């Protein structure tokens, strides 16, 4: 009763509305598909991918953040190894270099699209 929500009740803290939308959208990304930070921001009505990255860095611990990559297919800075290991395990389309994702084949347009595979 009198006890209020503790900071560790769920995750790192208290996700704001924007952060909650990011986590929700990212959690909808199917395996083998990826979205760019800009796409996520666009679906939320924002245009700042930086805000998504900042939020993901704090609250992304509970979502498949490795499915969110940069506009060039580069994996999230500071977690490239972690994301790469997961992508190889999920069979995500990777480039010949093996360090970037092939957005042309793995890009997911959003929850409104079925697969987006041409």
Question: Site residues for DNA, window 88-117 (CB under 7 A)?
Answer: none
Report the residue from 27, 61, 113, 117 that binds DNA according to the rule CB under 7 A: 61
Q: 74 with 100: CB under 8 angstroms?
A: yes
Q: Is 48 in the site for DNA (CB under 7 A)?
A: yes
Q: Among all chains, which residue has been given the structure tokens 């199917």?
A: 30
Smallest distance from DNA to CB 115, Å: 21
What's the distance, Cα to Cα, between the start and end of the chain in Å?
54
One of 25, 29, 34, 36 touching DNA (CB under 7 A): 36
């Amino acid at each position: 009763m009198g006890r209020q929500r503790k900071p560790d009740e769920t995750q790192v803290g208290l996700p704001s509305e924007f952060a909650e939308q990011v986590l929700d959208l990212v959690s909808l990304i199917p395996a083998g598909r990826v979205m760019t930070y800009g796409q996520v921001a666009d679906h939320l009505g924002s245009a700042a991918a930086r805000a998504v990255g900042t939020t993901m860095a704090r609250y992304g611990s509970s979502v498949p953040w490795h499915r969110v990559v940069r506009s060039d297919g580069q994996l999230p800075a500071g977690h490239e190894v972690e994301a790469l290991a997961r992508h190889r395990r999920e069979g995500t389309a990777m480039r010949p270099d093996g360090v970037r994702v092939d957005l042309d084949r793995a890009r997911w347009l959003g929850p409104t699209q079925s697969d987006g595979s041409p």
